[in-house]
Structure 1
Amino acid sequence: MRTEYDVVVIGSGFGGSVAALRAAEKGYSVLVLEAGARFADADFAETSWDARRYLWAPKLKCFGIQRIHKLPDVLVLAGAGVGGGSLNYANTLYVPPAPFFADRQWAGITDWQEELAPHYSTASRMLGVVVNRCEGPAERAMQAAAEAMGVGETYRKTPVGVFFGPPGQRVPDPYFGGAGPERTGCTECGNCMVGCRVGAKNTLVKNYLALAERLGVVIEPLRTVVDIAPLTSAADDVPTAYAVASVRSGAWVRKSRHTVVAREVVIAAGTWGSQQLLHALKERGRLPRLSARLGELTRTNSEALLGASLARVPDGEDLSHGVAITSSFHPDAETHVENVRYGPGSNAMGLLKSILVPGDSGHSRAGTLVRALAREPRMLNELSNRAWSQRTIIALVMQTRDNSLTVSGRRRPAGGWGLTSRQGHGEPNPSWIPSGHAAARAMATALGAETGERSFPGGSWAENLGFPMTAHFLGGAVIGATPADGVIDPYHRVWGYPGLHITDGSAISANLGVNPSLTITAQAERAMSLWPNAGDLDPRPAQGAPYVRLAPVPAQHPALRE
């Protein structure tokens, strides 16, 4: 089979979009295969109740941006579509604290904090990071909660990827000297995570992917990759190219299978998608040299989704006004809490809420919940979903603690491959976080004092049934000094298959304790900066050779000099 592209990128989220643009800048022909749909700003759902345009369930013809997956140990929220998780993430772009860079999984390879620093700067510039400008009752309550817990000095406004231009006004590209699309100033409608219909959110469609397409990158939406076959020369078994097969997403019968051949393949389908594909390829014997560490050190960011609600929408100003995440504080050195909002009418995610039930009662959480409701039936009023987004702030709790899951592949009864999990290396993945519960209670108290309304803390049904929710499913194909230590080498090449690369969240090697998007972008920027220009010698050492810290290779694409 002839090589049709130099590079095929599987997925168009933070890792895939970086790979597409930077490979094109270095003179490679690039095809991006994305399982999700493509959205113009006006195509996003108006509220989260529009299941067809909001939820991802392709077999049911729902091609929205919100994925929900269930494992035995966690409920996973993820993104879908051209632009990946940037379409429904909360715009929040923190550099993680020092424990992330010093994690024992990868700290012995290099000084990651120092080596990644310039790439964080590049990622921040590309994603348009600024300090959140929104201020209202939710933000004042967050600051008051931090002060009540004795950690007021840790309160801060979030760094976000949002264009705070003239609200609602369309202006020429403000970021890339006119090379990017026109933009519209943020109106603080609160619906960032349902899809920004205004055009103010700095999704990957507005930066990396827009610039990549100007350089000739081809993006094919609604194509789910189902196979990667190494192609070898007659002389040895080292792959010289890969045949990548994809089918039409959600198709029951006419799957429209298509195969394309490329010398290099970048796997960046998000942690769920990349792990599902890699486990299937390993189980089928397609990639037999994949490291036995595949699926290990899968992280949830040690996360919980809690909340604080008012009994009714406060007069004058509801809680849905602003961007998705606007402030945060640290109740202790290992725990980070952010306030999260949805816009008016986007109440579907409120169906996941429950009463806040501690995990140290000596009984099951579900049993404790039932007994609490039996003693005080009026607590059922707290489960009302009426105007949920306008009277609730979600408490997103994240930690840097060293806990993990081990994810493995399983054959589905109806055919195909899925994923399952068990507790992994380090501490058990937490089903409740005491400091997070304390923060939710402090937030509820502060919110009530701020608004003068009755308030109460909230939990989730998932947590009360013994497994947490996470919006940051990470790891499972982590960086390791050898194949016995990880799935990819320090240059993001798959051990045993140096023409395969992984640049998405599955390459995150430790819990960050902050939102991971900026780190995924920075790691991908570093990996792609070390690629040679098309036709040049590769400066990276062969797999198995000692690690060498390399200077970035400047791009030489002619389009950049015009």
Structure 2
Amino acid sequence: MITNIPGAPSGAEHADVVVVGSGFGGSVAAYRMASAGLSVVVLERGRAYSPGSFPRSPAEMGKAFWDPVAGLYGLFDVWSFDGCDSVVSSGLGGGSLIYANVLLRKDERWFVNEEPLPRGGYENWPVTRADLDPHYDAVEKMIGVTTYPLENPAYSDTPKTRALQDAATELGLDFRLPPLAVSFAPSRDAAPGIGLPLADGPYGSLHGVQRRTCRLCGECNLGCNDGAKNSLDHTYLAAARHHGADLRTLHEVRGIRPRRGGGYAVDYSTHTPGGGPGTITCDRLVLAAGTLGTSFLLLRSRAELPGLSDRLGTRFSGNGDLLTFLLRAKDRTGSRTITGSRGPVITSAIRLADTADGTRETGRGGYIEDGGFPAFVDWLVEGADLRGELGRAARFLVDRLRAMVTGDTNMSAEFADLVGRGELSTSSLPLLGMGRDVPDGVLRLRGGRLDVEWHTETGEEYFDRVRATMGRIADVLGAEYADMPAWISKRIITVHPLGGAPMGRHPGEGVCDAYGEVFDHPGLYIADGAALPGPVGANPSLTIAALADRMCTRMLEKGPPSTRSAKATREVEFHMTMGAGLVGEPPAETRPAPMPAPGERTSLSFTEEMRGFLSLGVDDPRSGDMSARSHGDRFSFELTITIDDVNGFLAEPTHQARAAGWVDSPVCGGRRAVEQGWFNLFAPGMSPDRREMRYRLWFLDDDGEKRTLSGRKDVHHGPATRLWLDTSTLFTRLLEGHVPEGEEDKATVLGAGTLHIRPMDLAATLKSFDTEGPRGMTAVARFGKFFVGELWDVYGPG
């Protein structure tokens, strides 16, 4: 139930969950939380659009843009940045109102780990295809997907689909019909047919307007006036409202901040006559305002959210988006001109293989899809074909230059003036490219406005590959290939901006964890494209929705967030680990709770980074250190140590955990992923007063040769002044092959050296502690008590 809070600012209301935005992440979150019985409020800045209400005439289209300063509250929000432009949506249903219906899964091998980026750093996905597959299934079932019924007589007359298939066959390319969120048949078991009445879904309709099956008008990107598109207002949002969610349109969020006692306060303004500012509080806050909206909101609220990762604003990409045109293309007979004006916007796709696929292909992969012909794209076509009203286009370019000088990056008003009047071109077929471009862009505030520093230079090889393939398709179809005019300066228009608040394994790598929860801010979640650490490659909508579904499962399993902040919790852990809890009894609020009952497993993980030197041809790590320094053979690793069951770990004598991550050294060919790793904490040594911290990491070098890094920290009785030196120094040997446990001394030693953990890295390790399962705080406390107790046994008096 949504309640009023006495004495709160402006009579603030309170809800269990507030969702900002109603796109693929926000709609999924609203439904999942509401169906679990929680009070949910969705704040959407745009308005609702029922079938039949989407703009079509030039006069309507001129007002169909989002720029409140210019008095525009329309569907399209156009942004211009240094290096790219972006078109996103504003309305109840978010991007689903104007996207091209494609719901492809991210390719399994494209969930890359430790993939080097041209300007430094690495692309890491802390989730896998296996993690997402059950959530992909759930989203596809809820939205309703099908492939284009090309063989059905009612839909077979779409020349662009046949043409792309013919070109792919002749060129030996991978052609497919992708899953589409479009209703071609009036019900699941009925035969497809054009313009047939659709029955309401199981949760009714938000709009009370009759929907009809696809009539091949090619206007999906303008909003479907027939209701054939299974957009989120017809699916997830209808279900969310059915379960009690409060869907509020024309409510634009301006800022967020923590709420005393836990949860968050959300400040918003309303774009309605007589509307003004308001505040609502919540226990859990889901940010799903789109990549640009969520990143902008977090950057603008940074002062109110201390402790946000410094990775905020990083990993921006355009998902490899590239729009081009085939002019005067012909079918295989050469007698019929192919256009994009018949069919859904996208019916088919060609997949370009990726180096990560393990095939002979090299380079970053992607997809090329046939394009439909909605009106606003057609006006751009006129420019590509050097026709149209050049004066208006010139004015647009002048306005762009003005924007670069003044910093006004919202170009919707100027774009609205650019489109003006236009007539459909009858001789052009758009091709839409997308794929794994380089996620090295940075979002930041400049003069209070959102700014993006991203260019196509580092992804030039990818874009050249996609353009070359499109050119080959043009040759097969007897067409003239044409880039967008902006490509002259290597600018792109993306409808899939991603990144800005990327997920990661720890705060040094991302803003939120693999479940979308912001590090150090319990109950604050990111559920849109901002959380993606790199491009999806395929159309990203389904992946965003699946990640949101996975996030919601985790949210419901965890229950309401603790009122204690994660930072305060880790401060308690730090003092316990460093021994502050040894003198007397800890305060009641930090005293460990009872142990979990048998069968209640709680896992614990943390990240550790060490660096040093390693010399080839050296057997003894102690001599290898000094020798290696003169040769510059640096060696480092970053590992995430995972204890699957804290109780079992503490009870087992060797205290073994899993290690995953990477090693990095010139002697191994650069950064190499750990294929399998083991870590033992305070395993018994050769005498009662000795303990060992053991590391055994299996990986492949750059020649594909199996290697093992074997390391040991020697913790033995001595003065307390040795504690830091012993626990921060790792004596390592590089071994030939993947060496089993206990056989290290029999293996061929390739080199040796020492690695160290620095004080600043120790602080990052302590900050990275995370748990899954019941009573996580108890698990951390027991781990800390064990750690300190073992050190006391070794270094204590007696």
Shorter-chain TM-score above 0.5: yes
Q: 1:144: which partner in 2?
A: 166
Contact 1:10 1:16 in 2 (8 A): yes
Deviation of 1:401 (Å): 4.3
Query: Which of these residues, 164, 169, 180, is aligned with residue 184 of structure 2?
Result: 164
Q: 1:187: which partner in 2?
A: 215
Contact 1:184 1:199 in 2 (8 A): yes
| CA distance in 2: counterparts of 1:533 and 1:332, whole angstroms | 38
Against the structure 1 CA distance between its residues 64 and 429, is the aligned structure 2 distance closer, same or farther, given a 3 Å change threshold? farther
Query: Which of these residues, 321, 344, 355, is aligned with residue 342 of structure 2?
Result: 321
1:279-290 aligned at under 5 Å gives the runs 279-282=299-302, 285-290=303-308
Q: 1:130: which partner in 2?
A: 146
| CA distance in 2: counterparts of 1:130 and 1:520, whole angstroms | 19
Q: 1:396: which partner in 2?
A: 432
| CA distance in 2: counterparts of 1:142 and 1:309, whole angstroms | 14
SS of 1:519's equivalent in the other structure is helix
Matched, 1:27 2:37: yes
Matched, 1:491 2:515: yes
Deviation of 1:404 (Å): 2.5
Against the structure 1 CA distance between its residues 227 and 389, is the aligned structure 2 distance closer, same or farther, given a 3 Å change threshold? same
Deviation of 1:60 (Å): 2.6
Against the structure 1 CA distance between its residues 514 and 480, is the aligned structure 2 distance closer, same or farther, given a 3 Å change threshold? same
Q: Residue type of the partner of 2:27?
A: S
1:410-449 aligned at under 5 Å gives the runs 410-411=446-447, 417-423=448-454, 428-430=458-460, 433-448=463-478
SS of 1:27's equivalent in the other structure is coil
| CA distance in 1: counterparts of 2:501 and 2:159, whole angstroms | 41
| CA distance in 2: counterparts of 1:492 and 1:310, whole angstroms | 46
Q: What is the percentage of aligned positions where both structures have the same residue?
A: 30
Matched, 1:347 2:363: no
Contact 1:271 1:476 in 2 (8 A): yes
Contact 1:64 1:80 in 2 (8 A): yes
Contact 1:267 1:502 in 2 (8 A): yes
SS of 1:263's equivalent in the other structure is strand
Residues 156-212 of structure 1: per-residue CA shift (max 9 Å, x gap): 112100011232222323x53868876421111110000100010000000000011
| CA distance in 1: counterparts of 2:272 and 2:54, whole angstroms | 19
Contact 1:224 1:248 in 2 (8 A): yes
Against the structure 1 CA distance between its residues 514 and 534, is the aligned structure 2 distance closer, same or farther, given a 3 Å change threshold? closer
Deviation of 1:466 (Å): 2.6
Stretch deviating more after TM superposition (502-511 or 198-207): 502-511
Q: 2:266: which partner in 1?
A: 244
Q: 1:363: which partner in 2?
A: none
Against the structure 1 CA distance between its residues 40 and 456, is the aligned structure 2 distance closer, same or farther, given a 3 Å change threshold? same
Q: Residue type of the partner of 1:242?
A: Y
Deviation of 1:388 (Å): 4.5
Q: Residue type of the partner of 1:326?
A: T
Against the structure 1 CA distance between its residues 537 and 220, is the aligned structure 2 distance closer, same or farther, given a 3 Å change threshold? closer
Q: 1:73: which partner in 2?
A: 83
| CA distance in 2: counterparts of 1:201 and 1:535, whole angstroms | 35
| CA distance in 2: counterparts of 1:103 and 1:354, whole angstroms | 42
Matched, 1:176 2:193: no
Matched, 1:267 2:287: yes
SS of 1:445's equivalent in the other structure is helix
Q: 2:623: which partner in 1?
A: none
Contact 2:65 2:75 in 1 (8 A): yes
Deviation of 1:488 (Å): 0.5
Query: Which of these residues, 511, 524, 547, is aligned with residue 523 of structure 1?
Result: 547
Contact 1:149 1:331 in 2 (8 A): no
Residues 51-88 of structure 1: per-residue CA shift (max 9 Å, x gap): 25532233333322222111112111211100000000
Q: 1:203: which partner in 2?
A: 231
Against the structure 1 CA distance between its residues 54 and 312, is the aligned structure 2 distance closer, same or farther, given a 3 Å change threshold? farther
Query: Which of these residues, 254, 258, 264, is aligned with residue 278 of structure 2?
Result: 258
| CA distance in 2: counterparts of 1:250 and 1:484, whole angstroms | 42
Contact 2:329 2:477 in 1 (8 A): no
SS of 2:293's equivalent in the other structure is helix
Q: 1:50: which partner in 2?
A: 60
Contact 2:84 2:454 in 1 (8 A): no
Against the structure 1 CA distance between its residues 31 and 179, is the aligned structure 2 distance closer, same or farther, given a 3 Å change threshold? same
Deviation of 1:345 (Å): 8.6
| CA distance in 2: counterparts of 1:442 and 1:47, whole angstroms | 36
SS of 1:17's equivalent in the other structure is helix
1:352-371 aligned at under 5 Å gives the runs 353=384
Contact 1:15 1:521 in 2 (8 A): yes
Higher relative contact order (CA 8 A, sep 6+): 1
Deviation of 1:109 (Å): 4.2
Deviation of 1:292 (Å): 0.4
Residues 312-363 of structure 1: per-residue CA shift (max 9 Å, x gap): 99869853110010111135531321111124797334355367xxxxxxxx
Q: Residue type of the partner of 2:169?
A: E
Contact 1:100 1:511 in 2 (8 A): no
Deviation of 1:29 (Å): 0.4
Residues 386-405 of structure 1: per-residue CA shift (max 9 Å, x gap): 75454222111122244421
**Gap runs ≥5 in structure 1:** 234-239, 356-365, 367-384, 412-416, 449-454, 551-562
Contact 1:301 1:474 in 2 (8 A): yes
1:75-114 aligned at under 5 Å gives the runs 75-104=85-114, 109=126, 112-114=128-130
Larger Rg: 2
